[in-house]
């Protein structure tokens, strides 16, 4: 009998992508994905540790599992991802409802761990690996709109930003074999997908050396996990060092009908070579997420970010030089250790200078084991953090709205992703800059559908989205410049 698994993902896009790898590993073990915890034999929570609040949300959700278990005695509950890595035994000891704890590099061992769980024992594997990239696993797309998908190109992070827990939960940085990345993107095209986002914590430090091939898998590759070895035609071999710009270009050429995005760029590593590749290919979207964290060079130094304000602004200038139409978004932390009011003012002034389309903004949350937790007191009072965050949010809100207003009157290429939540008469999609565009569901006599690529005249804007009027249905292959 088919067993049923429900996977719930928290945190970043990498977790969403990992859940698809987990679904693939479990599919071979006889599990089909289902859409709710109530229907499942196995519930897996793929968790995030980035801020205390993120962990709190999951801990609450774990408690809710007690009710489900009371109704379904055979239900098993597993915690995956970053909290599994960080909290390990604590989860198993304090949360009796948890049967299984598996870290981000140990998903291949899920079948064995589940066997153990099946006999009534608890199971745990939180070993981090220097090699594991799940390179050849074909993900099972979950919760998909059939239009956009994620492809992970690297794992872990070596940057050690002082505030960040990721290097502890995800381990050392490693890059995935480019050939498997190109193949996965080509498969997406065959499956009808129209857009891919290449994922890594710091995509700019992607690096693949062919001499390292073949790589041993951290957990012993099973024969049936491998993609067919011989495929024709073979993607061009990668015979020299491949950096992120090279990879991006290979994907753009191999999949000319696929829109390509990526995340996340790191200001200290983002090269003009990458910007030149972006500018050269129409199918690479003109959007860069470039987290700044703070506008103060002093704070950036204490954050161990590896750049200062001047360097960051020079990177923004380079983006604008290469691609005047490129949208830029960022992440900002308010109230980091030792942040003065002057530092905060510098962040506000940087927001004014950079001209972001969008930003994700957070209050600093101290994370155990990080450099900041060991070295710098978390000394900005919570209400000051809150006030500064609000000022940042208010300013960026104005800026975002102004950026969107600036698009009114232009004609944008919009990829339709789905039906608008507000009205069934409308569809939503995104322009190359990643802003949401709402359009009517009909154009002339044609019913539009997710996956359609249209030209839309931008007729209006709100705080967070654009309204558009479809002027043409493209559904043609974007021409390579």
Interface positions with ligand SAH (CB under 6 A) = 50-51, 163-164, 201-202, 264, 266, 291, 293, 331, 333, 362, 364-365, 367
| 3-state per-residue secondary structure call for 255-298 | CCCCEEEEECCCCCCCCHHHHHHHHHCCCECCEEECCCECCCHH
Taking alpha carbons only, the member of 87, 105, 114 closest to residue 5 is 114
Instruction: Provide, rounded to whole angstroms, the least separation between the CB of residue 442 and ligand F3S.
Output: 39
* Chain centroid offset of residue 229 CA: 29
Cβ proximity of 375 and 418 under 8 Å: no
Residue 399's φ and ψ, nearest 5 degrees, are -65, -45
Give which of ligand SAH, ligand F3S, ligand SF4, none residue 276 binds (C-beta under 5 to 8 Å, depending on kind).
none
Instruction: Provide, rounded to whole angstroms, the least separation between the CB of residue 271 and ligand F3S.
Output: 23
Give which of ligand F3S, ligand SAH, ligand SF4, none residue 331 binds (C-beta under 5 to 8 Å, depending on kind).
ligand SAH
CA 245 to each of CA 122, 290, 311, 330: distance values in angstroms, whole numbers, following the listed order: 44, 16, 20, 21
Based on its alpha-carbon atoms, the radius of gyration of the chain, rounded to whole angstroms, reads 23
CA 134 to each of CA 85, 128, 182, 298: distance values in angstroms, whole numbers, following the listed order: 18, 13, 14, 39
CB-nearer residue toward ligand SAH: 51 or 194: 51
CB-nearer residue toward ligand SAH: 11 or 33: 11
For ligand SF4, the binding residues in 182-201 under the rule CB under 6 A are: 201
Q: Pick one of 106, 114, 166, 448: the residue that binds ligand SF4 (CB under 6 A).
A: 166
- Contact track, ligand F3S, 46-85, x by CB under 6 A: --xxx------------------------------xx---
Indicate whether 264 belongs to the interface with ligand F3S (CB under 6 A): no
Indicate whether 45 belongs to the interface with ligand SF4 (CB under 6 A): no
How far is it, in rounded angstroms, from Cα 91 to Cα 448?
47
Indicate whether 54 belongs to the interface with ligand SF4 (CB under 6 A): no
CB-nearer residue toward ligand F3S: 62 or 82: 82
Give which of ligand SAH, ligand SF4, ligand F3S, none residue 95 binds (C-beta under 5 to 8 Å, depending on kind).
none
Instruction: Provide, rounded to whole angstroms, the least separation between the CB of residue 55 and ligand F3S.
Output: 9
Indicate whether 202 belongs to the interface with ligand SF4 (CB under 6 A): yes
Instruction: Provide, rounded to whole angstroms, the least separation between the CB of residue 329 and ligand SAH.
Output: 11
Task: Tell me the DSSP string of 227-253.
Answer: PPS--SSPPPP--S-EEHHHHHHHHHH
Q: Pick one of 5, 7, 14, 278: the residue that binds ligand F3S (CB under 6 A).
A: 14
Residue 9 DSSP SS3: strand
- Contact track, ligand F3S, 135-174, x by CB under 6 A: ------------------------------xx--xx----
Indicate whether 37 belongs to the interface with ligand F3S (CB under 6 A): no
Cβ proximity of 145 and 193 under 8 Å: no
Q: Which two tokens stand for residue 242?
A: 């491949």
Q: Which two tokens stand for residue 406?
A: 């600036």
Indicate whether 266 belongs to the interface with ligand SF4 (CB under 6 A): yes
Residues counted in the chain: 481
By the 10 Å C-beta count (0-12 exposed, 13-18 middle, 19+ buried), 378 is classed as: middle
By the 10 Å C-beta count (0-12 exposed, 13-18 middle, 19+ buried), 472 is classed as: middle
Give which of ligand SAH, ligand SF4, ligand F3S, none residue 362 binds (C-beta under 5 to 8 Å, depending on kind).
ligand SAH
Q: Which region among 153-161, 270-278, 319-327, 358-366 touches ligand SF4 (by CB under 6 A)?
A: 153-161
Instruction: Provide, rounded to whole angstroms, the least separation between the CB of residue 171 and ligand F3S.
Output: 11
Taking alpha carbons only, the member of 157, 161, 202 closest to residue 301 is 161
Residues in the interface with ligand SF4 (CB under 6 A) total 10
How far is it, in rounded angstroms, from Cα 371 to Cα 44?
31
């Amino acid at each position: 009998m088919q067993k049923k698994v429900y996977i719930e993902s928290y945190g970043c896009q990498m977790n969403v992508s990992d859940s698809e790898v987990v679904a693939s590993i479990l599919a071979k073990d006889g599990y089909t994905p289902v859409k709710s915890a109530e229907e499942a034999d196995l519930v897996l929570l793929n968790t995030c540790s980035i801020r205390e609040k993120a962990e709190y949300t999951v801990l609450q959700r774990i408690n809710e599992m007690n009710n489900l278990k009371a109704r379904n005695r055979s239900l098993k509950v597993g915690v995956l991802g970053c909290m599994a890595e960080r909290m390990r035994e604590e989860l198993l000891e304090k949360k009796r409802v948890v049967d299984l704890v598996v870290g981000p590099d140990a998903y291949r061992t899920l079948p064995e761990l589940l066997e153990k769980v099946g006999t009534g024992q608890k199971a745990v594997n939180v070993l981090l690996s220097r090699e594991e990239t799940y390179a050849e696993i074909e993900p099972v797309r979950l919760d998909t709109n059939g239009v956009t998908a994620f492809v992970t190109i690297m794992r872990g992070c070596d940057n050690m930003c002082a505030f960040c827990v990721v290097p502890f939960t995800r381990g050392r940085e490693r890059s995935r074999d480019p050939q498997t990345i190109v193949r996965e993107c080509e498969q997406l095209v065959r499956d009808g997908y129209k857009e891919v986002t290449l994922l890594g914590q710091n995509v700019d430090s992607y690096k693949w050396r062919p001499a390292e091939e073949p790589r041993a898998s951290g957990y012993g590759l099973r024969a049936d996990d491998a993609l067919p070895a011989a495929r024709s035609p073979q993607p061009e071999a990668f015979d020299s060092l491949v950096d992120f710009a090279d990879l991006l270009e290979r994907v753009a050429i191999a999949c000319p009908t696929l829109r390509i995005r990526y995340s996340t760029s790191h200001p200290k590593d983002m090269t003009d070579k990458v910007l030149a590749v972006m500018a050269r290919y129409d199918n690479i979207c003109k959007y860069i997420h470039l987290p700044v964290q703070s506008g103060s060079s002093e704070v950036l130094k204490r954050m161990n970010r590896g750049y200062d304000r001047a360097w960051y602004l020079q990177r923004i200038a380079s983006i604008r030089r290469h691609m005047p139409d490129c949208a830029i978004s960022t992440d900002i932390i308010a109230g980091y250790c030792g942040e003065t009011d002057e530092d905060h003012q510098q962040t506000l002034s940087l927001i004014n200078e950079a001209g972001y389309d969008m930003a994700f903004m957070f209050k600093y949350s101290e994370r155990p084991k990080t450099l900041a937790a060991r070295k710098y007191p978390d000394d900005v009072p919570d209400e000051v953090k809150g006030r500064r965050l609000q000022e940042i949010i208010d300013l960026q809100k104005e800026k975002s709205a102004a950026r969107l207003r600036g698009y009114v009157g232009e004609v944008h290429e919009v990829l339709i992703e789905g039906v608008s939540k507000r009205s069934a008469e409308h569809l939503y999609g995104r322009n190359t800059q990643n802003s949401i565009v709402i359009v009517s569901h009909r154009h002339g006599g044609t019913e539009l559908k997710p996956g359609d690529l249209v030209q839309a005249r931008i007729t209006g804007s709100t705080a967070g989205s654009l309204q558009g009027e479809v002027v043409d249905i493209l559904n043609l292959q974007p021409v390579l410049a």
